[in-house]
Amino acid sequence: MNTAPSPASPLWPGSGAHLLEAVRSWIAQDPDAETRQELEKLVATATDPSAGEKAAQTAVADLAQRFSGTLQFGTAGLRAELGAGPMRMNRVVVQRAAAGVAAHVLEVAGGDAERAPRAVIGFDSRKNSQVFAQDTAAVFTAAGLETLIMPRPLPTPVLAWAVREYDAEVGVMVTASHNPAADNGYKIYLGGRAVEDNGRGCQIVPPHDSQIAAHIDAVGDLRQLPVAQDGWTVLPYLVESHYLDAIVPGGTGGTRESAANPGLPGAATAPAGAGASSSPKIVLTAMHGVGGPTTVEALARAGFADVHPVRAQHTPDPTFPTVAFPNPEEPGALDLAFELAREVGADLIIANDPDADRCAVAVPDAHHPAFVDGWRMLRGDEVGVLLGLAALRYHAGEAGAVVANSIVSSRWLGRMAAAAGVEHRETLTGFKWITRQPGIIYGYEEALGYCIQPQTVRDKDGISAAVAVAQLAQQAATLGRSLADELASLAVEHGLFTTDQLSIRVSDLSLIPQMMTTLREHTPTELAGSPVVEVRDLANPPADSPLPPTDGLLLLTADDTRVIVRPSGTEPKLKCYLEAVTEVGDVVDLPAARTESTKRLSAVATQLQALLSA
């Protein structure tokens, strides 16, 4: 006869009775009928003898994983699969997180101030995003925070702008950005009295994350948590328009003025003398997210009216029906955009991720080895240096100006900044580090994130980046050039920086520390035939390092090939960032230099794959 395991059975990990008690306690506190039923069904399967041993084992393992710990703040806050339990995103996790955030804000910004700490909350169109935002507003209001909430699903950059615009002590954005449809997440920003000047409007960094976590751990039975039924303020629908006023100053939906610095304050338009013939025809995809209408309007305000949305991906849809992963970097994600671009004869493709804080760019480039049917997607580093060039030109000679990028991004911007006499800084991965650099005028990271206007939005902003890219393309066209031509010129002047990435996705997160241990214990002495001349363990930086410790390993070879390996902060995978540098004497030397660099990186990737998969 088949029998399901009891909590005392060896099939239950650790103390089965303790796990079952934790599950039942969670069910009792959960305000969501859907996730209560999810756990009740698993408990029934795990304890009912008629369910069968295999089904019971599966249910027990599922429960054990869900209750194996609690979600921790990663590179971009909390992010996980929707579902019941402390290792999933759900209303219990969100209400506890909101209570912890509120307690922290009151601790660091309460006191005897003339007004209560202010909070602003945004949300995207994913499943439960609005519910999580309303739960947060109810907890914040009950805790004594003056709370403002967005009127509808809007892009993450609108929320990031609002934190500074409304002088809020805290901002919360409910989104899982470019993660799969099953996920949701919770980004936290600090501002106002809660943080120092350079951090206002940025996402949280230590020690705020651990302090918030401690407050979350102190939250007792959720049924005793004060939750307001009303009392928060819903922001007006015009909030989106006010954000657009900030990132496209002087935009008139068709009138152009001269501008030397695309996307930066005071410069929202094309260079003087530009005619209609130089205005690019743009294909835009919102990747089923919330950025479509906002980006179309931003481009229109900057004078770009010839915009063709990918209709099948323009309306928000939390199921993301046309893409396996709603991330412009993923293979196949831009297929529909390429198809439309060929159909309409476009000059430029722009893609936002679902919450529109990232921006991908594709251009006609039949001379590049990576092109497909005449088009290729630019790497994040290529867009990063193009936008960086604009910033360096605009701020040339400006005292205290700083450009920055994450350590895993290309070294290209650093070489350009040195030539321009502008300070360059490398930071840890994540815009929470990039945008809090004193004197920052521009920052980027290779994962399609660009901070064009740090005084307006202290985070990556795919909408202002889209406008800036369109302006760059237009400016190049007035000189009979393309963005590909601009990149070629940068390669001749500063060297060809070729980047690639190897990602090893895992189903079991415990495999990632094991792979990092393997790499540390069996560090290669050569890569693609070039001796490794430097090994830097980023988890143990020297005392004079400007970077705090982070889990990662950097390898540098004699031929200036660089490899950085680190766990992803948002997805279950190990990421290897590869870069080769090749000096180029003339544009005619570029094809050979590209071939050499690509071959070198391919060999390095194969070598790393074999080592880490062993």
Q: Phi and psi dihedrals of 499, rounded to 5?
A: -120, 155
3-state secondary structure 90-119: CHHHHHHHHHHHHHHHHHHHCCCCCCCCEE
Contact 501, 578 (CB under 8 A): yes
The DSSP call for residue 179 is S
The question of whether 177 is a catalytic residue gets the answer yes
- DSSP letters, 423-461, are EEEEE-SSHHHHTTSTTEEEEEETTTEEES-TTT-SS--
Q: Which amino acid is at 449?
A: G
Element (H, E) at 262: none
Length of the chain (residues): 614
Q: Rounded distance, CA 124 to CA 20, Å?
A: 34
Q: Rounded distance, CA 360 to CA 333, Å?
A: 11
Catalytic hit among 9, 15, 129, 177: 177
Query: Alpha carbon of 390 to those of 225, 364, 405, 583: distances in Å?
Result: 50, 21, 15, 23
Query: Alpha carbon of 609 to those of 173, 290, 498, 505, 565: distances in Å?
Result: 36, 36, 19, 12, 12
Residue from 564, 562, 512 nearest 538 by CA: 564
- State both tokens at 552: 């990662």
Establish whether the linkage from the previous residue to 354 is cis, with ω within 30° of 0. no
Q: Rounded distance, CA 387 to CA 381, Å?
A: 10
Q: Phi and psi dihedrals of 269, rounded to 5?
A: -140, -175
- State both tokens at 599: 């071959």
Q: Rounded distance, CA 611 to CA 614, Å?
A: 5
The catalytic site residues sit at 177
